[in-house]
Amino acid sequence: MPIPQPGPNQSRDEFVSKCMSSLKDEKKPQEQKLAICFSTYKNAKKKKQSKGSMEEPRWEEQVVTNEDGDCIILI
């Protein structure tokens, strides 16, 4: 299934939710799906910024798994 692209006014949280829903049938670990969605959003925003738009606040994401196997996103 193709990876969706964020809309011009779509927030990061809205996009990641939509992206994760579209990848639900993919046989990949949840952490990998999250990484795909976050990097797709980040790369789309970088392209937009390089076209002369206003700069968004910079953020770094890290996906980790705790001892119970729960996925945690650090932003």
Give the DSSP letter string of the chain. Answer: -PPP---TT--HHHHHHHHHHHTTTS-S-HHHHHHHHHHHHHHHHHHHHHTTPPPPPP---EEEE-TTS-EEEE-
- Quick check: is 3 in a domain? no
**pTM, entire model:** 0.64
- Quick check: is 58 in a domain? yes
- Quick check: is 47 in a domain? yes
User: How many domains does one find in the chain?
Assistant: 1
pLDDT (tens digit per residue) in 34-69? 999 999 999 988 877 666 555 555 556 667 666 776
- Quick check: is 39 in a domain? yes
pLDDT (tens digit per residue) in 4-41? 899 988 999 999 999 999 999 989 999 999 999 999 99
Give the domain range for residue 46: 12-74
